[in-house]
Chain A
Amino acid sequence: MSSGAERPTWTSHLRRQVASMPPEKLLPDTQPVYVASWIYVFGALTIGAFIVVLLSGAVIAMAGPSWWHHSSFGHFINSTHLWSTEFFFAFMVIHLWGKFFMAAWRGRRRLTWVTGAVAFLISIPIAFTGYLSQQNFDSQWIGGQAKDGINATGAGAFFNVLNFGQMLLWHAVLLPLFVGLLIAGHVILVRRRGVVPPLPGKGGA
């Protein structure tokens, strides 16, 4: 076994990837001047709201429907879960508008845009399966309405909106896991490429 020479293995590939992201690049404490604008705060605000969503959701999932429907503290955490979701979507969409108007996919940042867009698209069924997980007449009614449309596509065989356990699994585990991984990849890509420079202005920036 000779050492030193790079072999075309997945371990050496991964080692190079990790080495290209040292801690000072992953967690910088300075940024170019143009980043001093409120619009750049919205990605981090989205992460903050997402963390509150995860924590409040974990609490109500563990305590169960009778707690979140019948105790005042349960109501409070349930409401925290709803409102942090509202903020998550609002911050995410304002972030999207900002990145759209600065064409932030320029300079090999296409995948940053795509991971963000896919995270957005997956967040929508998280909200939908959340409405199905409420365990009240509202969620029963929504499930009853949704089943015919979904069964008509054939997906009802493995995605059954009347099955609370299955909907809660998608809502509380699988889909948030996908979005969490996408956000991690998204942020690593931003750190790797650096923040996109502003669009050239008319008559000099």
Chain B
Amino acid sequence: MALLAALINLDGRPHYVQSGWFQISLANLIVVLVMIAVFALAVTLKFPGHEEPVAQEEVAGDE
């Protein structure tokens, strides 16, 4: 635990990323980027257990 805490020092000054009027803390930026990465993986990665093609009729919409 102490090792983990030593890795990220929370007692120092926070880091910020700035571009003109736009400013975000590094911690928030990392969270946003990880969320976008998780979203991209969720849309692209194959869902397990659905190898065999299933009848196409089921896909028909109810619009």
Say if A and B assemble together. yes
Q: Given A36-B50, A38-B47: A90 and B63 within 8 A (CB)?
A: no
Interface pairs A-B: 4 shortest CB-CB: A197-B61, A38-B42, A36-B50, A33-B54
Chain B: CB-nearest residue to A107: B63
B interface residues (Cβ-Cβ under 8 A, vs A): 31, 34-35, 38-39, 41-43, 45, 47, 49-50, 54, 58-63
Residues in B whose Cβ lies below 8 Å from that of A32: 58-59
Docked CA distance A99–B58 (Å):
20
Does the CB pair A98–B59 fall under 8 Å? no
Which residue numbers of A lie inside 8 Å of B, CB to CB? 32-34, 36-39, 41-42, 86, 90, 93-94, 97-98, 106-107, 194, 197-198, 200, 205
On chain B, the residues within 8 Å of A41 by CB distance are: 42
A98 touches B39 (CB 8 A): yes
Chain B residues with CB below 8 A from A36, complex form? 47, 49-50
- A107 near B35 (CB under 8 angstroms)? no
- Chain B residues near A200: list those with CB within 8 A: 61
